[in-house]
Amino acid sequence: MIKIKIIAMGRLTEASFNLASSEYIKRISKFFSLTVTEIKPVQISGNPGAKEIENALLSESSKIIAEIPPKAYVVAACVEGKQLSSEKFSSIIEEKSTYGYDTICFIIGSSHGLHDSVKKRSDLKLSFSEMTFPHELFRVLLLEQIYRAGEILNGGKYHK
Amino acid sequence: MIKIKIIAMGRLTEASFNLASSEYIKRISKFFSLTVTEIKPVQISGNPGAKEIENALLSESSKIIAEIPPKAYVVAACVEGKQLSSEKFSSIIEEKSTYGYDTICFIIGSSHGLHDSVKKRSDLKLSFSEMTFPHELFRVLLLEQIYRAGEILNGGKYHK
């Protein structure tokens, strides 16, 4: 069973997203061994300049990279990434587990995104939509797709 | 202020999505007059054939079309639709309110989607992602984008 690790910046502060996330984590445990690691984002001012954002993302990036397991296939969530259908997403999870990886590691940035060094370290840049969603809601979307992938790979009726 | 109407098949049965939906509806009321009309989906068997699905969607379609206000710009959510950025999505809401429409009407189908007659009645077929999401979660995504559109059009800091 391939392991899945999600590295996310910040906590889920909205009660609804927390509840949805717990529910999907419970359902995912049927299919994958999942861990979620939350990293405290760097506090920045209310109206930050480009340099302040860059410095914050850089400081976050070293903590993120330190959390990536050695034999992980790394997927960074970025709006400029590639979009996949749910079927294709599930086939990537299946495929990587036969290619010598023991973990698929998803990285979700803060509302300012991810530093370039994290994107460069990743094997796949993945986008879910041309639209922008809050990173807390994005975590729910990712968990739902991981659960759906488990259902697809195990021939369940959830995905039709 | 343009009115927004969401016509959705079925109720939100997951507590987390219900909570998230209520929260966004409250926030949206700052910007738009929003109504959500839920239509009871036709019950179909656990393993339906194509004909059974077609009949159910057709029966649902007449109830959906009857709920569309006369001067509405109609947006149907379909996986084969066009994707828009959040900015473009907000500009459509703004633009239509100056073009003689008094309502923007979004239609969300059940897990089997929407009948062709509803898609033909719509002015825009809109997709949020190449991925498939549960229709309950999709409703949360739509509400979040409507709220975000309000923030964008009013120069708020929510969208950056």
Contacts of B158 (CB under 8 A, 6+ apart): B147, B148, B151
Checking if the pLDDT of B15 tops 80, the result is: yes
Q: Is residue B96 part of a domain?
A: yes
Q: Is residue A160 part of a domain?
A: no
**Residues from chain A contacting residue B23 (CB–CB below 8 Å):** 14, 16
Looking at every residue in chain A, the average pLDDT score rounds to 94
DSSP A2: -
pLDDT band at B99 (very low <50, low <70, confident <90, very high): confident
**Residues from chain A contacting residue B131 (CB–CB below 8 Å):** 83-86, 89, 128, 141, 145
Q: Is residue A112 part of a domain?
A: yes
Q: Which two tokens stand for residue B18?
A: 């219900």
Query: Once rounded to an integer, what is the mean pLDDT over residues A13-28?
Result: 97
Task: Tell me the CATH number at B121.
Answer: 3.40.1280.10
Q: Which residues of A80-110 are buried (b: 16+ CB within 10 A; e: fewer)?
A: ebeebebeebbebbeebbeeebebbbbbbbb
Checking if the pLDDT of B124 tops 80, the result is: yes
Q: What is the pLDDT of residue A75?
A: 98
Q: How many CA atoms lie within 13 A of B110 on its CB side?
A: 22
How far is the alpha carbon of A27 from chain B, nearest alpha carbon, in Å?
14
Say what angle helices A86-96 and A135-153 make with each other, to 10 degrees: 70
Q: Is residue A24 part of a domain?
A: yes
Answer yes or no: pTM beyond 0.90.
Answer: yes
In the block, residue with structure tokens 């969300």:
B108
Residue A122 near chain B (CB below 8 Å): no
Checking if the pLDDT of B1 tops 80, the result is: no
Q: What is the pLDDT of residue B106?
A: 98
pLDDT band at B111 (very low <50, low <70, confident <90, very high): confident
Checking if the pLDDT of B158 tops 90, the result is: no
| Residue A8 · residue A37 · CB < 8 Å | yes
pLDDT band at B94 (very low <50, low <70, confident <90, very high): very high
| Residue B138 · residue B128 · CB < 8 Å | yes
Give the H/E segment covering residue A87. helix A86-96
Which residue in B19, B84, B133 is closest to A141 by CB distance? B133
Q: What is the pLDDT of residue A159?
A: 83
A71 C-beta neighbours (distance < 10 Å), count:
11
Q: Is residue A159 part of a domain?
A: no
pLDDT band at B98 (very low <50, low <70, confident <90, very high): confident
Return d(Cα A107, Cα A117) in angstroms, integer: 12
Q: What is the pLDDT of residue A108?
A: 96
Q: Is residue B159 part of a domain?
A: no
Q: Is residue A158 part of a domain?
A: no
**Which domain does A97 fall in, by range?**
3-153
Return d(Cα A94, Cα A101) in angstroms, integer: 11
The count of domains in chain B is 1
In chain A, DSSP finds a helix count (H) and a strand count (E) of 5, 5
Which residue in B19, B112, B133 is closest to A19 by CB distance? B19
E-strand ranges in chain B read: 3-9, 33-39, 72-83, 103-108, 124-127
Question: Greater confidence, B157 or A89?
Answer: A89
Q: Is residue A57 part of a domain?
A: yes
Q: What is the pLDDT of residue B44?
A: 86
